[in-house]
Amino acid sequence: MRATEAAAIAAGRVTGLALMERAGAATITAIFETWPARAAAPGHALVLCGPGNNGGDGFVVARLLAARGWQVTVRFFGRVETQPPDARVNHDRWAELGPVLPLDPAAPPPLSPAPDLVIDALFGIGLSRPLEIFAPLFAALGACGAPVVAVDLPSGREADARPEAAAWPACPADLIVTFHRAKPAHAALAPGAMLRVMDIGL
């Protein structure tokens, strides 16, 4: 996936920032195609953004949900000064619209009343280590009753489906929205999660 994106950018067909915007827009499309009633009745969305480009996708999703009339709470795990450039741009675009609240995964924020929708944009295909510190947050999300939408992969999953990664803590997911092609890990995910593979012009 990285090679495909890099080739498209090097050929001048698209920019990384444009791909991030397309990924966010595709996530919105998948959400409202899966749950059409939510498009007509905006609610409260909790968007969890991580330190890399997956988090950048989350900031796009937050902005596009707000444009559709949703109340959006954004929580960010990371440091602004170390974000990749495209993710930083989208962090700043959201920050012009609403606050970016910190996220402490070991002490998850209260989820009562529960949001109407949770967006998991913490970690994507680049994850290479288990996220034990996030286990309390993942448990809270699983118990809150709101549908969870994973951007690319549920956080905690390792994209290549290495056997040792199967026991890593992972975020629950009701809908997984990935881009261009399914990744190896998608075949091993829980059967209860819906998977949408969205075209972003690659």
CA distance 82 to 76: 13
Number of domains, the chain: 1
Q: Is 202 annotated as a binding residue?
A: no
Q: Is 141 annotated as a binding residue?
A: no
pLDDT tens across 100-151, in order?
A: 999 998 888 888 788 999 999 999 888 888 899 999 999 999 999 999 999 9
pLDDT tens across 83-101, in order?
A: 999 999 999 999 999 999 9
Q: Is 54 annotated as a binding residue?
A: yes
Confidence at residue 191, expressed as pLDDT on a 0 to 100 scale: 58
Three state DSSP letters for the chain: CHHHHHHHHHCCCCCHHHHHHHHHHHHHHHHHHHCHHHHHCCCEEEEEECCCHHHHHHHHHHHHHHHCCCEEEEEECCCHHHCCHHHHHHHHHHHCCCCEEECCCCCCCCCCCCCCEEEEECCCCCCCCCCHHHHHHHHHHHHCCCCEEEECCCCCCCCCCCHHHHHCCCCCCCEEEEECCCCHHHHHCCCCCEEEEECCCC
> What CATH number should be reported for the domain holding residue 35?
3.40.50.10260
State which residues form the domain around 175: 2-198
CA distance 13 to 196: 24
52: tokens are 């890399």
Q: Is 127 annotated as a binding residue?
A: yes
Q: Is 112 annotated as a binding residue?
A: no
Confidence at residue 190, expressed as pLDDT on a 0 to 100 scale: 55
CA distance 63 to 109: 21
What is the pTM for the complete model shown? Answer: 0.92
Q: Is 90 annotated as a binding residue?
A: no
Q: Are 195 and 180 in contact (CB under 8 A)?
A: no
Confidence at residue 84, expressed as pLDDT on a 0 to 100 scale: 95
119: tokens are 């967006």
Terminus-to-terminus CA distance in the chain, angstroms? 10
Q: Is 154 annotated as a binding residue?
A: no
Mean pLDDT value across the chain: 90
Q: Is 57 annotated as a binding residue?
A: yes
